[in-house]
Structure 1
Amino acid sequence: MSSEPTFLWGDNRRFNSYSRYFKGLFGERVQKLTIDAGFTCPNRDGKVAHGGCTFCLNDAFNPSYCTPEKSIRQQLEEGIEFHVKRYQKATKYLAYFQAYSNTYAPLERLKEIYSQAFEVPEVIGVVIGTRPDCVDEEKLDYFAELSKDKYVTIEYGIESCYNKTLEKVNRGHTYEQAIWAIEETAKRHIKVGAHMIFGFPGETRQEMLAQAEILSKLPLDTIKFHQLQIFKATQMAKEYALFPERFSFFELEEYIDFFVHFLERLNPKFVVERFAGEVPPRFQAGPGWGMVRNEQLVSMLDKRLNELNTWQGRLYHP
C-alpha cells in the first residue's frame, strides 16, 4: 500500500490519466475516431438473447459522421476533418470501433474490416469495443499478429462484476467469461481495456466500491467508467417509468466523492480513460447532470483528490 503521493506516472495528476498515457506512448496527442462498422450483438440477434442490454442506446454516443452506411475510410476521413477543425492538435488517430460488438463476425470478415482502417495514413492503431463472449482463440491470435506493428486495444464491456446484475440487464454473459477473455487477450500481449457502469438497480454503494478490489486483480491496461444514465427508447427507460423506486442515481458531487474512494482502492497501474459519461440531454429519460462537460468533470475530480490529499492506489493491496 502506498503511503506517500510519489506517483508512478511522471506528472502531477493524482490518477493514471489517459492523456498522459498516450503522450508517453506516442510523444504527442492522439485522437480517437469513432467508427460504426455495422456489427450487431449476440444478445440482439437471438444467439444468446433478444433485445440487447436493457441500458444500451448507441446513438447517444455516436458522432454525426459515424454511420454504417458510410465506408470505414469515409467515416475516418470525415472524423479527421471534424477533429482538425475542433481541436487543431492531433496528427495521429486511432480508429475506435465502438458500436455494438466489433468482433462478432467470422474471422475473414474481421480481417477485411480492420485492414480498411489502416488504409488511412493518419491512423496508427485501432481500439476494438466488444463483449467477452465474442472472442475466441483464433480471433485473438489474429489481433496478436496485428498488434506486432500496430497499436491494438481490445476493450471489453464488463459493466458489472456481479452475475446477478448482468442477468438483470440482459448482458447474456457472465463475469467469469470476462475474466477468460481478458486473461487470454493479455496473455497474447494485446493491450486490453474494460468498461464499467456504476449505479445499476440492486447494487449497493458498498458492492460497487468492492469492485475496485475485484477488478484490480485483472491484467488490464486501461479502464473506463460511466455512471448509470437512462436513455430514451430502451428497456431500462420503460422499467424506470414503471418502477422508479428501484433506481438510485448519483448526484454529481456524490459521484465525485464515490469515485475518489473507488480510485483509492484501484490498481495504480490501470490507466483511467474516463470516469464518468456525458450524453446530450435529448437522449436522457432519467435524472442527469445537465450540460457538464468531461473537462469540467476531470477538473472536479482533480480538485477533490487534492483537497483530500489522496490518489489512485493509495489503499490498494497487491
Structure 2
Amino acid sequence: MNYLSLSDYLKQTYGQKVYKISLQSGCTCPNRDGTVSRGGCIFCSEGGSGDFAAPLLPINEQIDFAIKKVEAKLPAGKEHKYIAYFQSYTNTYGDTGKLKAMYAEALSDPRVAALSIGTRPDSIKDDMLETLKLLQAQYGKKIWVELGLQSIHEDTASRINRGYTLPVFENTYRKLKEAGLTVIVHVILGFPWETEEDMLETVRYLSSLSPVLDGIKLQLLHVLKGTRLGDEYLRHPFHVLELQEYCDLVVRCLKLLPKETVVHRITGDGPKKLLIAPLWSGDKKKVLNTLNRAIKLS
C-alpha cells in the first residue's frame, strides 16, 4: 500500500530531507487557564504536548539551540532545512502582535523552510487568521496550522475535556483553507471507550472534507504520569492497544485517506519518564519497523 508520507512530501517539495525543530511561544491554553476549562485535556502532560521542545528563550536562540541538537546527529558540512514547529499548548492563544513578531522571526531565518503552529480550532481569531495569511505571503514560506481534533465523536470530546464541538472545528477548517493555509489534523487512536469503527469513522470524516485535508497525524493514545487519564489508569486499568492491534488499525486508516493527504505521523513519542502505558510504545525502532512491515504487506 502506498501513502504520501511527510518525509516523501518534504523531499518532493524542497528537494532534500527537512527536519522539524520544536519551539515554544510561551502561550498557555484556554483549556487550562479557566477560559474554557481547567486542567487541559485528560491525556495532556504538564508540558502541553511539547515535552521535547527547546527551552523558552528568544526565538532566534531557540532555533539555534534546536538546530545544534539536530545537527549533532547529522554529517557535518551540509546545509539543512528545518520546519519551525511551535508545538506545546495553544500557539494562537495570546497577543496577536507578540505572536506575529515571533512567527516573523522564525520565518525570516534562512534555515527555516516552513512554519508549523499547533493550536485549537476555538482559539484562532480573525485577526490571527489574517496575520498568518499575510506572513505566508510576505515570506513566501508555507504556514501549517495543526488542529487537535482527536475524535469526531462528541462523547469522546466530553470525556477528554476537549472543550469545543465538531461544528467549531468545521468552521475553523473552512476559514483556514479559504485563507490559503495548510491544515493538519491530529487524531488519537486508542481511547478505551471507542470501538475500532468509531476511530475509523473519524478518519472517514476527515477523508471526506472539502477542500481536501492537507495533512493528518495518527497518534497512539499514551497514558502518561501526571495526567488525569494516567491517574484513572492507575486506579482502574483499562485496555490499551497492543502493538499488532495498533498496526492493523493504522493500515485501515491509511487506506481511507485521499492520496493527496500527507501523513505526518503514524505513531508518536511519549516521554519514557512519564509513560505508563502502553509500554511497547517506548521502543520506537521496533514500533516503526512493525508498522512499516504491516503497511508494506497490506
How does the TM-score come out when normalised to structure 1?
0.86
Q: Tell me what 2:70 maps to.
A: 83
For 1:119 and 1:188, the matched residues in 2 are separated by 21
**Per-residue displacement from partner, 1:18-77 (whole Å, max 9, x unpaired)?**
0110011111111111001211000111101111111101547533x6122x22111110
Unaligned runs of 5+ in 1: 6-13, 309-318
Question: Within 5 Å, which residues of 2 pair with 1:170-209?
Answer: 170-209=161-200
Q: Percent identity?
A: 34
CA contact (8 A) 2:10 2:17 kept: yes
Contact 2:20 2:85 in 1 (8 A): yes
3-state DSSP of counterpart to 1:172 = coil
2:23 matches 1:32: no
Whole-Å separation in 2 of the counterparts to 1:187 and 1:266:
21
The residue that corresponds to 2:289 in the other structure is 299
For residues 243-266 of structure 1, give each alpha carbon's deviation from its aligned partner in whole angstroms, at most 9, with x where no partner exists.
22xx32111111101111121122
Note if contact 1:186-1:220 (Cα within 8 Å) is conserved in structure 2. Answer: no
Task: State the secondary structure of the residue aligned to 1:278.
Answer: coil
Q: Deviations over 1:151-205 (max 9, x none)?
A: 2101111111111111111111112211111111011111111111011132111
Distance 2:255 2:201 in 1: 12
Superposed displacement of residue 90, structure 1: 5.9
1:220 alignment partner, one of 182, 205, 213? 213
**Could you say which residue in structure 2 is the equivalent of 1:8?**
none
- Bigger drift between 228-237 and 115-124 goes to 115-124
Distance 1:16 1:180 in 2: 26
Query: Are positions 1:96 and 2:89 aligned together?
Result: no
Aligned length: 291
**Paired residue type of 2:251:** V
Deviation of 1:87 after TM superposition, in Å, equals: 2.6
Q: Partners of 1:253 and 1:272 in 2: how far apart?
A: 20
Misfit runs of 4+, over 4 Å: none
Report the alpha carbon displacement of residue 296 of structure 1 after superposing the two structures with TM.
4.4
Query: For 2:147, what is the secondary structure of its paired residue?
Result: strand
What corresponds to 2:278 in structure 1? 287
8 Å CA contact 2:42, 2:227 repeated in 1: yes
Among 221, 225, 228, the alignment partner of 1:232 is 225
Deviation at 1:290, TM superposition (A): 5.0
Amino acid at match of 1:215: L
